[in-house]
Structure 1
Amino acid sequence: MKEIKIESTLYVFEGLNELPQDVIKLIQKATEAREKAYAPYSNFSVGAAILLDNSKIITGNNQENASYPSGLCAERTAIYYVGAKYPDVKIIRMAIVAGSKKNKTSSPIPPCGACRQAIAEYEVKQNTPIEIYFMGETGKVAKSNSLANLLPLGFDKSML
């Protein structure tokens, strides 16, 4: 038997004031998208903003449905739009802002497993890492230099 150790590295900033202006702008776009989320069932709103290498910023937010499996997370709403509208443009970074309408969230909230898999698909497709910044409504901001860092041992097309 052989032991394999898998590690992930995150960078945690105490607040927005520690981030570069271009990242703050992307987080502000994610915050604006979050405000438009449709989350009447969970009362948990998420906004995502994606910076493309053509300098465009695409946003998305979670969209719920009374038939729970039919809803879609903010990250996938945004990234699938990128895939449909800009299929050959690379994604540079993504910002995610999430929070509950019931209580304040001040800890960084990472993408769910389904979103990690969807983002991984685009990272593999473009063969370059996607930086991911994530936070709650306020407080600390976490950064991962790539989605592969958040989803070690990911499943991709090479396994099919």
Structure 2
Amino acid sequence: MKQITINTVIDVYDDLKELDPEAQKLMEQAIEARSNAYAPYSKFTVGCSLLLENGEIIKGNNQENAAYPSGLCAERVAIFAAGANYPGVAITRMAITASPIDDSFAKPVPPCGACRQSIAEYESRQQQPIEIFFMGASGTVARSNSLADLLPLIFDRNYL
């Protein structure tokens, strides 16, 4: 038997003000996107903003549906919009904010498993990492250098 050790490094900032100005702006765009989320069933709103290598910012928010599997998470809304409108343009940074509608959540909320897989697909496709910032409604902000920090042992096209 052989054992594999996987190490992940996540930077943690006390609040939004500690981020560089570009990351602050990106998170503010995610916060704005979260305010427009459609979450009448879960009452849990998520906003996401992406910075593309061409300087464009793409926003997305969660869109629920009474038939739960039919909705989409904020991250996938933003990623798919970027892919549809800016094909071949790399995503360099991503900001995510999530909280119940009452804005009470102050703990960083990372992307769900389905979103991690979608982000992994784009990192693999563009052959460069996406820096990911995530937070609750306020408070601590976490940062990973790549989706690989959040989802080690990625399943990608190399297995197909």
TM norm structure 2 = 0.98
Q: Per-residue displacement from partner, 1:91-135 (whole Å, max 9, x unpaired)?
A: 110000100125610010000000000000000000000000000
Stretches of 4+ aligned residues off by more than 4 angstroms:
none
Query: Secondary structure at 1:115's aligned position in 2?
Result: helix
Question: What is residue 90 of structure 2 aligned with on the other side?
Answer: 90
Question: What is residue 23 of structure 2 aligned with on the other side?
Answer: 23
Q: Per-residue displacement from partner, 1:38-90 (whole Å, max 9, x unpaired)?
A: 00000000000000000000000000000000000000000001111111101
Question: What is residue 81 of structure 1 aligned with on the other side?
Answer: 81
Give the root-mean-square deviation of aligned CA atoms. Answer: 0.8
CA distance in 1, matches of 2:17, 2:80: 30
The count of residues paired between Structure 1 and Structure 2 equals 160
CA distance in 1, matches of 2:103, 2:23: 26
How far 1:17 sits from its partner (Å)? 1.3
CA distance in 2, matches of 1:59, 1:126: 19
Opposite residue 139 of structure 2, the aligned amino acid is: G
The alignment status of 1:40 with 2:40, answered yes or no, reads: yes
- Cα contact 2:103–2:137 (8 A) shared by 1: no
How far 1:7 sits from its partner (Å)? 1.5
Opposite residue 36 of structure 1, the aligned amino acid is: N
Question: What is residue 145 of structure 1 aligned with on the other side?
Answer: 145
Question: What is residue 154 of structure 1 aligned with on the other side?
Answer: 154
Gaps of 5+ in 2: none
CA distance in 1, matches of 2:77, 2:42: 17
Query: Secondary structure at 1:50's aligned position in 2?
Result: strand
The alignment status of 1:70 with 2:63, answered yes or no, reads: no
CA distance in 1, matches of 2:69, 2:19: 35
Question: What is residue 60 of structure 2 aligned with on the other side?
Answer: 60
CA distance in 1, matches of 2:87, 2:101: 34
Query: Secondary structure at 1:6's aligned position in 2?
Result: coil
CA distance in 1, matches of 2:111, 2:46: 10
Query: Secondary structure at 1:41's aligned position in 2?
Result: coil
CA distance in 2, matches of 1:101, 1:59: 19
- Percent of pairs with identical residues: 59
Query: Secondary structure at 1:153's aligned position in 2?
Result: coil
Question: What is residue 113 of structure 1 aligned with on the other side?
Answer: 113
How far 1:146 sits from its partner (Å)? 0.3
Opposite residue 85 of structure 1, the aligned amino acid is: N
